[in-house]
Structures are given as C-alpha cells and as structure tokens.
A and B are shown apart, each in its own frame.
Chain A
C-alpha cells in the first residue's frame, strides 16, 4: 500500500475493485465502512459479484470478468475529455501523458460498455466522482492481479491515480491488500527470484558484491531465478530436480492441480517444512516439523509496510523448531555456517544489508510497528509513499490496451467461473479447518449461482452439481445467491473436496507469473 490503513478514513472517495473486503480483510473493511457511514466518503465498487461492501457504495459497477483495463481506460477517457484531471500533478510529477491520452481515446463509455457490460452512464458518473474528489483512495486485491493481464490492471490503476493527483497525499494512494500475514515481508526479505532484500536486483553488480561481502561468499548468481509458476513445469520436464518448500501448500493453491501433482511427483527430492502434514507434505521425501507463529519470536510486515513484532507465547509441540533454525542447520551441514543467537540477531543483519529496514530494531517496534522505508535509527518511518517524488523520479504513465482473458465461454463451456475466499476460512484451510466453529459456519465447497441461472438449470439450493472445465471436473453444492450475476458462478478455493483449482486455468500473466484464477469457462450439470 502506498498509504496506511488508517488513512482510508481520510479519503473523500474510495474505489474498491477486485477485493471482497468484508470477507478477506474484515478489519480493513471496517475503516472503509466507517468512512462511508460517518465521514461522508463516497464508495465506488467495481466487481463482478454483488459483494457485501457494494451495499455501502454509491456506485456498484458490474464488470465482466477480466475486463479491468477497459473500464479503467474508460474512466480516464471521461476524465481527460471532461478536463477533470490534475494538470499540475501530471505536468510536475509524471511523463508519458500524451501516449496515455492517445491510448484511452478509443475507450469511449459506449465502447467500454460493450466490453465490460458497465452501462456508459454509470461509468461516466463514477469517473467524475473519482476525479472530483480531493483525496481518493484505490483499494484492490487478487481480483485485479489474478489475470493474464494482472500487471496491466495494476499499472492501469496507477495511471488513474496519477492522472488525478491521488498519490503522495493523505487519503489517496493505490492500495493493494495483501492476503497473507507476511506476504509483504516475504517479498521484502528477498523471497523472490529476481531481488535480494529490499528489492535490490540480483543483476545489479553492486548489490551482488555487497551481499557477497556480508555473507562471506563468492560466486552469487546474477541470473534471476524461476518463479513458482515456472518451477513446477520445469519439474515436469526434469530440469528441476529438487524442491525445498517452507510453509506452502501448492497442491491446493496451484492452478490446474492435476498437472501440479504430476510435476511434483517428477522431482528427485522433495523436502517440505510445515506445521501440518499438508497435501504437499504427503508427497515429500523428508518432512521437517516447524513452529507456528505463537511459538516463536520475530516480525511480520503487514500490507501497509508496517513491521510488527511476533512473540513466543507457548512451546512448539514435540521436536518442532523455528523455521530459521531448521534452515540454518541444513546450511551448516552443507558446509556453510549460519549461526544466530536468536531472531533479533537476524534482524540486525537484515537491517545492515537492507536500506529500507536499516532503522528497524526490536526495541523501536516494541509497542507500535514502523512503516518502511525506515533508512536510519532516528527515521520515523514512511506512512505515505511518493509524497515528493517517485523512486524513479517522474511517475510513468503506461499506455495499455485491453486484452481479453485467456479463456472464453463457448457452446460446450457456456458459463464463467471465478474463484476466491470466504470469511470463515483461510487459503488452503490447514489452519481454519482445525476450528470446529469455523467448519460449522462454512462446512464445504459450494458453487454460488444466480437465481436466474439456477432456474435455467433446474437447480435448487443444496443440490449437488457437477462442474467441469477443460481441465477437470468436481462436484459441489449449489448456493443460490444474490451475490452472483447471471452467466458467472463463484467457487471458493479452500476445499480439497470440490477443489476449485481442479478447474482453474494455469495461463500466466507474462510479467508477474500470476495465474488467471479469476476467469475460466465451465459447464454445469445436476449430479445424478
């Protein structure tokens, strides 16, 4: 997030897209709902489902799956045509405006309506509302990124925010909501194939030299590594021989599960380190038991870049150990000593090699976390990014054209499927599934379908239905719901029985490597 969570209550307009906020980030949704109910903020929701937060919105724009670039370009078309953009910001802080203007020229509200299904008039009104706000915040989540055009979608939202001068100000910003407790931290800490900690590029010779000196090694690779979505196919072809998987369960979370399982079975050696014997761990050659969050010291970095403490409350069961201790033990046995007294000693090393974490110490974040970048011990942290300039100097507009999703409906697969999560479960359910009450509230897979579609297929609430895509078939229970819009069904991906990812498409965004979980074509039939 460029801005903070608390900042949302200072926005005049909030635009939520591709985020089912009340179910996936319930506490953030409280900020948005309070902004609307008590602070007079106006809410625009653009989402293919009539999600709960749409009930708080002035405008709910129902977009066809995967049509985001079109509606965002359409909004910018209206804003430029009606001269509502922030000329001062565009002139002083950005470049590439003319190319953007030329690109969005053809995205008239009428043309956008054809692609997205959003009525031209509603798009125009929402565009005006966003542009005329003093401060407008954009909030998005996986509904934006999990597309073959995910990177384009994100860049388009950044275009929109820059066009209206909504960056670097209170109540503004482009705010992706991170789905997992420390996904921000995993990225910050070099858990990515192309960067060391703090996004220092592996093909930057200075960064390589710095790390070699700090770690006392030579010959670090300067070739970007493979993304998770590339590793599995390479396992299939035999180029990838071994995987060391820490706290991940790709066998439920990966797209096209049949294929993922075969790929993993091709490996010569699989090590899985986890707190449970997950579906993935069951395929491992060696399983290493680790401690969970309540059993260890450390830090997580949240979605607003706030580095916060994690503290040990109870002992880990049996012989389970902290993940870092296990990894260090393997390193030692491979001839490289990694000795740390405790987690705090590791943080000191992180701070010494990571400019954006240089000022973070356990002492400073004992009571309240600090937002990185925090480059020095006396630096207060950075709640709002880009207040004076962008890291690259001027903000670059990207002129982006619309491309349709990888898969579309046809005679054989006439319905669209989109996937996501529900309030009561989390990701692959390894944690939430252990709480009876959560299972009672959300016992199993379901397919959410509109009343009209249900009637057309002769389906009633609770019926068992067979759903097939070009990759697999599952059965699930029918849930007739006002959240669904005719022509599109929704299935949560938590459940191994009736797993949505047996159906989803593994087509990837070419830049981010994120699969298109949010769009595929399916057919439904009442199970015999």
Chain B
C-alpha cells in the first residue's frame, strides 16, 4: 500500500486518491460529516462551514468539503470544538428569518416535546412546508440547538409564487448557495445568483426579477437541492409530506434521454416527481416536463373503458365485446384481402416488451411486415 496516500480519520487509517477532499474520503468510508452548502456535482464553495473538522497542526477548523486530503493528515470529525462550531453555525442560521420547525422558541430540553406538539399544527401556513424533511431542522435536532442565542432577524423579502411551478420563500433561505450552483454549474442555465451583499443577501433571478420573467426554464434543479423550505414545488407544497408517500423508481416517459425518476405516490396518486441522484444518465437532473408535467397520469380525460363506434358515436363497451369485434374484423379482412392489407403502428412511447408483442402479433398473427412507428415523424 502506498503510505503516501494515507489519512487518519477518527483514529482509523484510510487511503485516498490525490485530489479527493476530506469529506469525500470520510463519506466513502461511511463516516458522517454534516453538510449544507455542499453540492456533489459542483465545486465546493465552503460557504456554510457546517462541515468543519479538526486537523492536527492546523491553526483553525477546516472545511472538509473544500480541503483536500493530504498524506498522513490526522482528522477528527466530532470533537467538542467541532461540535461547538457547528452549533454556532446552526444558531446563526436559525435566528435569521422564519425557521419555525419548533427550534426557534424552545430551549434544548424542550426540543423533542415541542416538535411533537408542533406536529398538530401541520397544514397551517405557520409551519414550514418541509417540516420533517429539512436538513437544517435535522441538524438542529442532532446538535440540540435552539435559536435563542441570537436575536431574531426578519427577512425583508416577500415570498414569490407568481409562477406555476416553484415557490420561493426567502424567509426560510439559509443562503447556502446550493441553488445557485445547481443553476449555474450543473444545469448551466445561469438564471439565478447571489444579490444584495451582506445581511441583505438574497438569491436573485436576473436583476431581481420574478423567475417567470427571467432566464429560468423551470428545470427545478434548485428545488431538488434546496436543503430547507426556501424552494418548494408549488403543486406539492403543504400537501405532500415525505412520510405519507411511497417512492417508486422509474424511467421518464418524455424524450429519449431516459432520466431516472422517483415517482412520489400518495393515496394511489403520483403527487410529485424528483430525479434519482447518483445514477446515469441524469444524476438527479430533470427538465420542466419530467419534473412538473405528470398531471396527465390522473387526468379525468384518460380513457377508462373500451369504446365502440355506432352510428358515428362512441359507446362504452366491455373488454370482451371490443376485443371480439377487433379480432373478428381483423380476421375477416386478413382472410378476404390478405395480411398485407392491414397495417400496425406500434409506438415509440410504449415499452420494449409491448413493442415486441406488437411486432410478434403483426408478423405471426396478421402475417404481414406492415409495422412501423412514428420515429420518422
């Protein structure tokens, strides 16, 4: 083993490849280090400082997301100094804006009880839409941090919900910058950036326009990466809590990229779509159609019954009626005019298995090769 590329984390030796960060080595070896601003697909910014660790010989705590692992480096991820620093980061975040996940008015001892009580207020505007699914809330709980230490500061920016897909609630934003990186470094739509420096910092689209009037193309990458409740899907806000949903993984049915999706299912309905991280071809990214264009699944216009046309009008039929009619008609035409007088258009929309069956039916049953689909159109 190459001793040049050894690092010690919490007393255990690990190998690393040059260029790997401390965080990457730790995560690869299942050592938890919390992160907020860190976005796997982009370069680290070191913005939030929640991922700090102690490195022997270093003068101050080191942001593990940005610091490269070095030979014989000795790292500790959960020392009293580290914990204190993380608590301070969390206290500052919780005191800025509206983080009513029960952390802000309680002290450490009441935390669990308060969370349980607050559950009763679910479904109200007062409670954060991502309650129970928030990385900040999770860390506040883990590190038992309240917001009492610093006076609460108000966020002067109004909530924006004038577009059909994304609600931007600036009062819940922790300015971690993940959305900015998602937009500029992952999707490269370059629609949003940091604006108004200092305590007035706000994530702005163009010159602080509404998203709908900016270069935003509503891919929703920013929503997917937001660790808090600042960016939420409009159609799922308050209505969809993760513990009410089952997630089913599948492949998007729009274009040929084949993005991997999670369909979030609540009470037998698809209520939200998100991208599957860490797997090709999309690694979590989606477009506006894949992420928001799923209403057709439960549209009242869906066909629910076989239909037979009589005197120019459709009437509902049973499967037996409809299938027998189709089989008889196709059979008659085949007998009278030959299989080549029948054509089948299979579909670039249905599955491989279904196309195979259409291909087999056309050739083996109708005895013709008249099968095509709209790849040409």
User: In the complex the two chains form, is A244's CB within 8 Å of B345's CB?
Assistant: yes
User: B253 near A181 (CB under 8 angstroms)?
Assistant: yes
Count A/B pairs, Cβ under 8 Å: 473
Which residues of chain B come closer than 8 Å to A268, judged between CB atoms? 333
Q: Mark A277-297, 1 if CB is under 8 A from B, else 0.
A: 100010011111110111110
Taking the closest CB of chain B, its distance from the CB of A205, in whole angstroms, is 15
Residue A24, interface by CB 8 Å: yes
Q: With A179-B256, A293-B250, A330-B323 known to touch, is A423 a contact of B293 (CB < 8 Å)?
A: no
Given A240-B343, A302-B256, A314-B270, are A186 and B355 neighbors across the interface (CB < 8 Å)?
yes
List A residues 242-301 near B (Cβ within 8 Å).
242-248, 250, 253-255, 268-269, 271, 274-277, 281, 284-290, 292-296, 298-301
- CB pair A221 B374 closer than 8 Å: no
Q: Which residues of A contact B287 (CB under 8 A)?
A: 26-27, 423
B312 → chain A, closest Cβ, in Å? Answer: 11
Task: Tell me the nearest residue of chain A to B372, going by C-beta.
Answer: A228
Please determine whether A183 and B329 come into contact, CB atoms closer than 8 angstroms.
no
* CB neighbours of A274 from chain B (8 A): 303
Q: A91: CB under 8 A from chain B?
A: no
One digit per residue, 1 when the CB lies within 8 angstroms of any chain B CB and 0 when it does not, for chain A 186-226 equals 11111111101100001000000001000101011101111
| B251 x A308 contact (CB < 8 A) | yes
- By the criterion CB–CB under 8 Å, are B372 and A179 in contact? no
Q: Are B369 and A186 in contact (CB under 8 A)?
A: no
**Is B354's beta carbon under 8 Å from chain A?**
yes
Q: Contact: A189 with B323, CB < 8 Å?
A: no
B257 touching A25, Cβ below 8 Å: yes
Give the interface segment out of A113-121, A160-168, A427-435. Answer: A427-435
Give the Cβ gap from A257 to chain B, nearest Cβ, in Å: 12
Q: Assess whether B372 is in contact with A303, with CB atoms less than 8 Å apart.
A: no
Q: Size range of the interface on B?
A: 35 or more
CB within 8 A of A27: which of B265, B286, B314, B357? B286
Report how far A206 CA is from B370 CA in the complex, Å.
20
Question: Is A181 in contact with B301, judged by CB distance below 8 angstroms?
Answer: no
Q: How far is the CA of A120 from the CA of B357 in the complex (A)?
A: 52
Q: Which residues from chain A contact B361 at a C-beta distance below 8 Å?
A: 327-328, 330-331, 338
Within 8 A of A (CB), among B199-250: 212, 217-219, 234-235, 246, 248-250
Residues on B with C-beta less than 8 A from A440 are 164
Measured CB to CB, the nearest residue on chain B to A32 is B188
B297 at the interface (CB under 8 A from A): yes
Q: How far is the CB of A332 from chain B (nearest CB, A)?
A: 8
Taken residue by residue from 407 to 435, chain A's Cβ proximity to chain B (1 for < 8 Å, 0 otherwise) reads as 00000000000000001111000111111
Q: What's the Cα separation between A334 and B256 when bound, in Å?
A: 34
Q: A317 contacts which chain B residues (CB < 8 A)?
A: 298, 302-304
Q: Judge whether A361 is part of the interface by a CB distance below 8 angstroms.
A: no
B258 beta carbon closer than 8 Å to chain A? yes
**Closest B residue to A296 using CB positions:** B351
Q: How many angstroms between the C-alpha atoms of A440 and B164 in the bound complex?
A: 8
Asked if A182 and B303 make an inter-chain contact with CB atoms under 8 angstroms apart, the answer reads no
Which residue in chain A gives the minimum CB-CB distance to B43? A38
A460 to B187, CA, bound (A): 33
| Contact between A343 and B333, CB atoms less than 8 A apart | no
A309: which of B251, B327, B367 is its contact (CB, 8 Å)?
B251
CB closest residue in chain B, given A271 = B326
Q: Is A241 an interface residue (CB 8 A)?
A: yes
- Whether B280 lies near A368 (C-beta < 8 A) is yes
Kindly specify which of A58-66, A68-76, A345-353, A461-469 makes contact with the partner chain: A345-353
| Docked pose: A180 CA to B257 CA in angstroms | 8
Query: Within the assembled complex, what's the spacing in Å between the Cα atoms of A294 and B185?
Result: 31
Q: Does A126 lie at the interface of the complex (its beta carbon under 8 Å from any beta carbon of B)?
A: no
In Å, the complex CA distance between A263 and B163 comes to 43
- Is A241's CB under 8 angstroms from B369's CB? no
Tell me the bound Cα distance from A253 to B345 in angstroms: 13
Are A226 and B343 in contact, with the CB atoms below 8 A?
A: yes
Q: Is B110 an interface residue (CB 8 A)?
A: no
Hey, which chain B residues are within 8 Å of A217, CB to CB? 364
5 sampled A-B residue pairs with Cβ under 8 A: A24-B255, A225-B368, A295-B297, A318-B303, A320-B304
In the complex, given contacts A254-B377, A292-B296, A426-B293, what are 6 additional A-B residue pairs having Cβ atoms less than 8 angstroms apart? A191-B348, A227-B376, A284-B309, A296-B351, A338-B357, A441-B288
Question: Which 3 pairs, one residue from A and one from B, show the smallest C-beta to C-beta distance?
Answer: A318-B304, A437-B164, A302-B258
Interface residues of B (CB under 8 A from A): 163-165, 185-188, 212, 217-219, 234-235, 246, 248-260, 263, 265, 268-270, 279-282, 285-290, 292-299, 301-309, 314, 317, 319, 322-331, 333, 337, 339-365, 367-377
